[in-house]
Amino acid sequence: MMNQGPLTEEEIEWLDEVLLRHATERSIMDVAEMDGMLTAILSGPKEVGPEATFAAFWGGEGDQPLWESEDELKKFVELTFKHVNDIAERLSGYPEQYEPLFGTSIVEEQEFTIVEEWCFGYMRGVMLWDVEPLPEELLAMLKPIALHGLEEKFDELDALSHEVFIDSIEEIKPAALSVFAYWQNKQHSNLH
């Protein structure tokens, strides 16, 4: 059984509000970006500790926000850990229940999925792996995420037809699961 379950709608809104309020040019902007980054960190080849993870949220070591109160910081940390545990549990035990927390946008009463923030966060998480250069096999797996998550890919993205664009969004979740499995297998084979 999954023990904590995902964040509630209210908790996600609260985190979004806090991230936005403390956002700088170097920090993550919202929960979607945080979710992407955490997914990459949890999928990667090495453990990134809480301190390094929190520093990465804000851009680096010296970029911690000025919290409004001890309570705000405490709640932020608690909800982040709750979310980390949820992602980790789904990735490793219930991949069929894993869902990236993409953003949504309402345009003329239609809801659209926004994947950019999540993918940007994920690619930021990939940087924390410290693997240079990334193996070819892994680069191929990362392609759908990199397409939506790297600024240098924007022209390529703009050139896609609507159908191909929609397909590319559909490929993001399987890509994330493949990358997780890739590193799991690597670690597993290193143990034997």
Domain ranges of the chain: 9-191
What is the full DSSP assignment across the chain?
--SS-PPPHHHHHHHHHHHHHT--TTS--SHHHHHHHHHHHHHSSS---HHHHHHHHHTSGGG----S-HHHHHHHHHHHHHHHHHHHHHHHH-GGG-----EEEEETTEEEEE-HHHHHHHHHHHHTT--SSPPHHHHHHHHHHHHHH-GGGHHHHHTS-HHHHHHHHHTHHHHHHHHHHHHHHHHHHHH-
Q: Let me know: does 153 contact 147? Beta carbons within 8 Å.
A: yes
Domain 9-191 has CATH 1.20.120.740: yes
What's the whole-number mean pLDDT along residues 148-166? Answer: 95
pLDDT of residue 4: 60
pLDDT of residue 2: 46
pLDDT of residue 3: 52
pLDDT of residue 112: 87
Q: How confident is the model at residue 81 (pLDDT cuts 50, 70, 90)?
A: very high
Q: Is the pLDDT of residue 188 over 80?
A: no
What's the whole-number mean pLDDT along residues 163-169? Answer: 95
pLDDT tens column, 20-46: 999 999 999 999 999 999 999 999 999
Query: What does the mean pLDDT of the chain come to?
Result: 93
What's the whole-number mean pLDDT along residues 3-20? Answer: 90
